[in-house]
C-alpha cells in the first residue's frame, strides 16, 4: 500500500496541473484566480517565446488559434527531459514526432516544416569546427577524399519545405536540401538534386575518394557514360567547395 503524499506535494501537483491545463484542472483551493492566471501566463509565454524563435514560419502558417492549440497540447502532454530553455525546441520536435496526432485542419507538411526550421537552430549553435591541420583546400577532389563541412545537414523531405509560406498552396514534391554554416557563421540553404545528395552521403563515409564515390553512383544508376558523370560530379564538388559545403580534401598527414 502506497503512502499518501504530503499535503504540500499534493498542492504542488494541483498547482502545476492547473498551469499546464487550466481548462481541465481546477486551481488549488485558496489561490485566487487572478493570481493563478499570472503564473499560467508566465509559463505559457515563456514556452511560446522559445518556440517562436525557432519556428517562425510554422507559427505564421498555422495562424494564432491553431498555433496556440498546438503549444497548449505540448504543455499538457509532453514531459521535458532537459531544464534548459535552449532545448525547448528539441523537446517540441520530439513531441510532434512521437505524441502529437494532427487533426485534419493541420497541414500534412507540418512535421517536415518544423524539422527544417529546427535544423537551422541545431547548426547555428553547433560547436563542431573544421580540423584545418588535416585539410588541404587545394587538393585533388577526385583522387583524394573530399572533406565535408562539419556543420552540415543533407536533408530529404516529401514537401518543398523551403518554399512554404502563409497563404501559399504547396503540393508534395520530393525535395533535397543542403544546409550548412559558412565561414562567416551564417546558415546557408541550397536546394540540390538526388545525385548531389547521394554523392554527399557517400563522401560522409571514410572509404570514398571523389572518383570512387562517383563510380559507385554510376554503377548504382547504370549511367551510360562514366566520363560524363565524373566530369559533372567534379563540377558539383568544385561548386560546393566555393560555397563552403566542402572544405577541400583530407591530407595524407597533418601539417607541421
Q: Do residues 204 and 140 share a domain?
A: yes
Question: Quick check: is 238 in a domain?
Answer: yes
- Assess contact for 152 and 208: CB atoms under 8 A: no
Q: Do residues 144 and 241 share a domain?
A: yes
Question: Quick check: is 62 in a domain?
Answer: yes
254 has a pLDDT exceeding 60: no
Query: Could you tell me the CATH number of the domain that includes residue 102?
Result: 1.10.150
Run of H or E residues at 10: helix 7-20
**Distance of alpha carbon 44 from alpha carbon 1, whole angstroms:** 37
Boundary of a domain, candidates 106, 141, 159: 106
Q: Do residues 183 and 136 share a domain?
A: yes
- Assess contact for 167 and 185: CB atoms under 8 A: no
Q: Do residues 89 and 174 share a domain?
A: no
Query: Could you tell me the CATH number of the domain that includes residue 171?
Result: 3.90.930.50
Q: pTM higher than 0.95 for the full model?
A: no
Question: Quick check: is 184 in a domain?
Answer: yes
Comparing 1-10, 169-178, 210-219, the range with the smallest average pLDDT is 1-10
Could you list the residue range(s) of the whole structural domain that residue 185 is in? Answer: 132-250
Comparing 38-42, 137-141, 250-254, the range with the smallest average pLDDT is 250-254
Amino acid at each position: 500500500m502506497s503512502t499518501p503524499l504530503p499535503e504540500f506535494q499534493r498542492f504542488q501537483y494541483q498547482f502545476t496541473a492547473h498551469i499546464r491545463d487550466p481548462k481541465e484542472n481546477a486551481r488549488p483551493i485558496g489561490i485566487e484566480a487572478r493570481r493563478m492566471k499570472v503564473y499560467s501566463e508566465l509559463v505559457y509565454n515563456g514556452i511560446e517565446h522559445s518556440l517562436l524563435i525557432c519556428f517562425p514560419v510554422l507559427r505564421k502558417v498555422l495562424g494564432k488559434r491553431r498555433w496556440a492549440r498546438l503549444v497548449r497540447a505540448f504543455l499538457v502532454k509532453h514531459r521535458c527531459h532537459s531544464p534548459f530553455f535552449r532545448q525547448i525546441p528539441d523537446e517540441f520536435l520530439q513531441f510532434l514526432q512521437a505524441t502529437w496526432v494532427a487533426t485534419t485542419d493541420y497541414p500534412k507538411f507540418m512535421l517536415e516544416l518544423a524539422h527544417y526550421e529546427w535544423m537551422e537552430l541545431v547548426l547555428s549553435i553547433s560547436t563542431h569546427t573544421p580540423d584545418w591541420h588535416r585539410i588541404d583546400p587545394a587538393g585533388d577532389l577526385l583522387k583524394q577524399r573530399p572533406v565535408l563541412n562539419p556543420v552540415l545537414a543533407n536533408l530529404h523531405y516529401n514537401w518543398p519545405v523551403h518554399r512554404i509560406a502563409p497563404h501559399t498552396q504547396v503540393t508534395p514534391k520530393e525535395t533535397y536540401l543542403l544546409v550548412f554554416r559558412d565561414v562567416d557563421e551564417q546558415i546557408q540553404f541550397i536546394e540540390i538534386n538526388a545525385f548531389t545528395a547521394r554523392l554527399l552521403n557517400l563522401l560522409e563515409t571514410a572509404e570514398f575518394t571523389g572518383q570512387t564515390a562517383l563510380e559507385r553512383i554510376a554503377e548504382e544508376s547504370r549511367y551510360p557514360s562514366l566520363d560524363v558523370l565524373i566530369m559533372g560530379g567534379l563540377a558539383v564538388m568544385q561548386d560546393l567547395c566555393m560555397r563552403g559545403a566542402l572544405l577541400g580534401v583530407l591530407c595524407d598527414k597533418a601539417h607541421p
